[in-house]
Structure 1
Amino acid sequence: MTVASIPTSSRKRLGTLTIGQAPRADITPILAAALPEGVDCLHLGVLDGLSREDIAARYAPRAGEPVLVTRLLDGGSVTLDKAAVRRDLDGKLAELQASGCQVVLILCTGEFHGLNLDPAWLVEPDRIVPPAAAALAGDRQVGIMVPLPQQAASEAGKFAALARPPICAAASPYADGLRELERAAAELRERGAQVLLLDCMGYTEEHRRAAARASGLPVILSNALIAKLTAELLA
């Protein structure tokens, strides 16, 4: 594939790619708070322009296969076949690069393999959040919150750097209310967690506060961590 050159510009441009539909009203405020002034943003989504019928036809989950959950423009959520999402990521990433984005951020903490951009700088949360959480936690027991129960198994491999195998609980930032998240956070504390990680870009500061309130533990918010690190590349 021929790599598109990035147009020369005095302004920095960040591209974001969600596996759902863009822009992500839940994530963009967190990004905006972290980014330096003068950064242009271009937001794309794998599901942009698709109806629920289109999404079901192209990305329907398959029995026993890994899945991802994401947000649509109407605020609703949808569960997707992970392999089908991976199939369409490269084209969207190339589109962001061709549009002049010097840095491209994937708005998903799911583990993807073989992604690459050149010369744009690709930021992949699945490569950053697990080792950062491991370094912060040290020998402490990490409790991980995921949107869907089956993701506790399908995404477990990326947390091999943790000193102890993580313990997991599920509460969707899209479909479940704060009460369910609080219940899951308290459960993780009861099972021995000493620090919590909200492992989905859809969790917000409201979710972080609810989890901390219910558990009494430090809570790492994945998208806040990624936003701050991405901002360093654009400063």
Structure 2
Amino acid sequence: MKQIKIGAITIGQAPRTDITRDILPLLPDYMTLTEYGALDDMTYEEVMSQFAPSEDDEVLVSRMRDGRQAKFTERFIRPLVQQKIDQAEAEGVSAIILFCTGVFPEFRHQVLFIEPQPLFHAIAAKLAGNQKIGILVPEPDQVEQAYHTWGKSGISIEATSASPYLEFDKIVEAASFFKDKDLAFICTDCMGFTMEMKHRIQEITGLPVLLPRTLVVRILCEMFS
């Protein structure tokens, strides 16, 4: 089979080695992954000072190249993501994955564009039926946002927060929040959550966990197999 070039766009900085160590083993030999970061040309200090969210903004969290967590607003990052989509298409990719589960207006694209959020919500809704699910978001100020966003998709949730970019112990603590609750399963609502974190949450709660990074890659592989 001929080589297929895939673009991966993070709303933070590339490379996202924390994501690719989980997803590269899932890609067939004929697929190559080229990464693009919306914040590649900015410093951490510039992002934190210029893109800081205000009270009513949609809050997003991502990772800088040096591993630091950055928090910013969707309205600032959106045009930078569009620039990277345009760049990836100009460089000949056959498909693009967005490394973010946030909610965005529709992006302009010519090739297959895999945006995790609508896929994640649609699959979770079908799997949950009328049951409640657990949602883990990175930041406390995203919890209320999660109730609103998932509620719009018709899904009843219990939400709490723990960043995948900070202390692992906080993930363990957050997982305990879901223990013994009447939930169908748990969704980790950020591309930053790892396979290791997924397995630890499963151990603590006894519940299945839906991980967006591996979900979207498996969909991608199905499309091109």
The normalised TM-score by structure 1 is 0.88
Question: Which amino acid in the other structure matches residue 110 of structure 1?
Answer: G
Do the aligned partners of 2:133 and 2:184 also contact (CA within 8 Å) in 1?
yes
Q: Does 2:142 match 1:165?
A: no
Name the residue aligned to 1:225. 215
The verdict on how the C-alpha distance between 1:116 and 1:158 changes in structure 2, with shifts beyond 3 A counting, is farther
Match of 1:139 among 99, 109, 130: 130
Match of 2:99 among 89, 102, 107: 107
Match of 1:79 among 52, 71, 74: 71
Please state how far the C-alpha of 1:136 moved relative to its aligned partner.
Answer: 1.9
Name the residue aligned to 1:184. 174
Question: Which amino acid in the other structure matches residue 95 of structure 1?
Answer: Q
Q: In 1, Cα distance between the equivalents of 2:219 and 2:26?
A: 9
Q: Does 2:51 match 1:59?
A: yes
Match of 2:36 among 40, 44, 64: 44
Name the residue aligned to 2:197. 207
Q: Does 2:139 match 1:152?
A: no
Do the aligned partners of 1:140 and 1:195 also contact (CA within 8 Å) in 2?
no
Q: What is the percent sequence identity of the aligned residues?
A: 29
CA deviation string 1:111-156 (max 9, x = no partner): 11121311x1111001101111122222322000000122223244
What 5-or-longer segments of structure 1 have no aligned partner? 1-9
Deviates more, 1:188-197 or 1:64-73: 188-197
Q: In 2, Cα distance between the equivalents of 1:202 and 1:226?
A: 13
Do the aligned partners of 1:182 and 1:215 also contact (CA within 8 Å) in 2?
no
Deviates more, 1:153-162 or 1:64-73: 153-162
CA deviation string 1:161-211 (max 9, x = no partner): 766511101010002x23221221221234432311111100001110111
Q: In 2, Cα distance between the equivalents of 1:56 and 1:186?
A: 31
Name the residue aligned to 1:197. 187
Match of 1:88 among 60, 80, 83: 80
Q: In 2, Cα distance between the equivalents of 1:170 and 1:61?
A: 18
CA deviation string 1:48-98 (max 9, x = no partner): 132122213432222332211111111111111121011322111111111
Q: In 2, Cα distance between the equivalents of 1:192 and 1:72?
A: 36
Do the aligned partners of 1:39 and 1:234 also contact (CA within 8 Å) in 2?
no
SS in 1 for 2:140: coil
Match of 1:124 among 115, 121, 124: 115
SS in 1 for 2:8: strand
